[in-house]
Amino acid sequence: MDYKNMFDFSAKKVLITGGTGTLGSEFAYAFASCGADVVISGRDEIKAAEVLKKCCRHKAVYDFVKCDLSDITSIVGMVSDARMILGGLDILCNHAGFSIRRPALECTENDWERLMEIDLKAPFFTACEAARSMKASGGGMIINTASVSSARGHKELSIYAAAKGGISQMTKALAHEWAPFGIRVNAVAPGYIPTTQTVDILDDKVKKNELLSKIPLGRFGKPEEIAAVVLFLASTGSSYITGQTLFVEGGRMID
């Protein structure tokens, strides 16, 4: 194994869904820094331009594909467009999603359907579409985004927890099914990271201190700490790892 160049992704073709958010944009920059050609997807063209500007400091191919993840046809088009732009597809960061923080008894059917559509249904069909391409080309890597909530019973996150639990189980099933095609499927499960999704709770001093008291390392994570794990899961260093959900949460799962 070439330990020294393990994170050299030169000529690798990467698609990142949710690539305009806090974590997704950091994933894009991380792969760009390591030489990869990167396409990000999302709906916000202004934010996409900012992400691509940062990535373009490195000499490679970078582009944005607009996608409505509630529409399967749009998902198929996104993967197809990314393949055409990149000239193939080696790595999928299946990251796009959102959360609803609300007591279970106040959740509506619309809440359930909207979150499941984006956080579970869309990642499944995105992975399937990417896998078709990877199977034809001899293999690839898929990294899904789960959450600590996939394994913990966090209150007021019942629908989100159900979706992310589904991501972890989906990761296992797809890894088993696609291993013969040379496709590895893993998931990263972040703990609390300051993002647009967590800003409300982290701005609440009482809730913030309550959360910190449950994290052995005594702090919240940083986007680059999640991106580093994503790079590892996409690298040759994880070549014997598939079907796993890797928790990156400062030790919160210990207790």
pLDDT digits (tens, 9 = 90+) for 151-175: 888 889 999 999 999 999 999 999 9
88 vs 14: CA distance, rounded Å? 9
CA distances for 180 relative to 91, 105, 176, angstroms: 17, 44, 8
Q: Is residue 42 part of a domain?
A: yes
Q: Is residue 89 part of a domain?
A: yes
Tens-digit pLDDT profile for residues 214-239: 899 999 999 999 999 999 999 999 99
**pLDDT score for 132:** 98
Tens-digit pLDDT profile for residues 171-205: 999 999 999 999 999 999 999 888 777 777 778 88
Of the CA atoms within 13 Å of residue 160, those in its CB half-sphere come to: 20
Which position among 3, 29, 62, 160 bears the catalytic label? 160
Q: Is residue 75 part of a domain?
A: yes
Q: Of 8, 10, 6, give the one whose Cα is nearest residue 60.
A: 10
Residue range of the domain that includes 236: 13-193+223-248
Provide the domain count of the chain: 1
**pLDDT score for 201:** 75
What is the arithmetic mean of pLDDT over 129-140? 98
Question: Strands 91-94, 183-190: parallel, antiparallel or unpaired by DSSP?
Answer: unpaired
Q: Give yes or no: 160 in active site.
A: yes
Q: Is residue 209 part of a domain?
A: no
What is the arithmetic mean of pLDDT over 233-251? 97
Q: Is residue 134 part of a domain?
A: yes
Q: Of 203, 181, 189, give the one whose Cα is nearest residue 161.
A: 189
DSSP string, 89-132: --EEEE---------GGG--HHHHHHHHIIIIIHHHHHHHHHHH
Q: Is residue 1 part of a domain?
A: no
Q: Is residue 231 part of a domain?
A: yes
**pLDDT score for 242:** 98
Q: Is residue 74 part of a domain?
A: yes
What's the mean per-residue pLDDT of the chain? 94
Asked if 55 and 27 count as a contact pair (C-beta separation under 8 A), the reply is: no
Could you tell me the CATH number of the domain that includes residue 27?
3.40.50.720
